[in-house]
Amino acid sequence: MTNDQRSDLIRLACEARKNAHAPYSKFLVGAALLTEFGEIICGCNVENASFGLTICAERVAFSTAIAAGHRRFRALAIATSGGHPPCGACRQFAAEFCEDLPILLIDCDQPDQVSESNLRVLLPGRFELLVT
């Protein structure tokens, strides 16, 4: 990931966060996913009155990217108030497509302070279904 791509990921994750539909939790999340071809695909969380139907920003970004034909990714940026890491479901969802994914955790209240992690660190012992 280049410095320009990193800056774009941070900016676009923060912008995507503004589109979040979170009337119940008020916890707005934006995600920006960098594909192997350098394209950036965004997502935001979308809550529902039937809470189980709520989908996280990260899975929206991944699903949108998958629907567009992408399968390999270079980085994921997540923007929240507080710089929170992805939930367990999103970690497993991402692990379907990439084991070693750099993840930028952005605190939108302090966007200049970005914490860097990696999917491999956040999800040790991921579930794998070995099909023969």
Span near Zn ion by CB under 5 A; candidates 48-56, 63-71, 75-83, 118-126: 48-56
* Active-site residue, from 36, 39, 58, 128: 58
Cα–Cα distance measured from residue 117 to residue 98, given in angstroms and rounded to the nearest whole number: 14
- Per CB under 5 A, the list member of 66, 68, 87, 121 interacting with Zn ion is 87
Give yes or no for residue 56 binding Zn ion (CB under 5 A): yes
From the list 90, 98, 103, 122, which residue makes contact with Zn ion (rule: CB under 5 A)? 90
Distance CA(107)–CA(125), nearest Å, equals 27
Q: Please say if 15 is a catalytic residue.
A: no
Complex with Zn ion: residue 62 or 74, whichever CB lies closer = 62
Question: Between the CA of residue 41 and those of 30, 70, 92, 129, what are the distances in Å?
Answer: 11, 10, 19, 27
* Contact between 104 and 73 (Cβ < 8 Å): no
Residues in touch with Zn ion (CB under 5 A): 56, 87, 90
| Residues labelled catalytic | 58
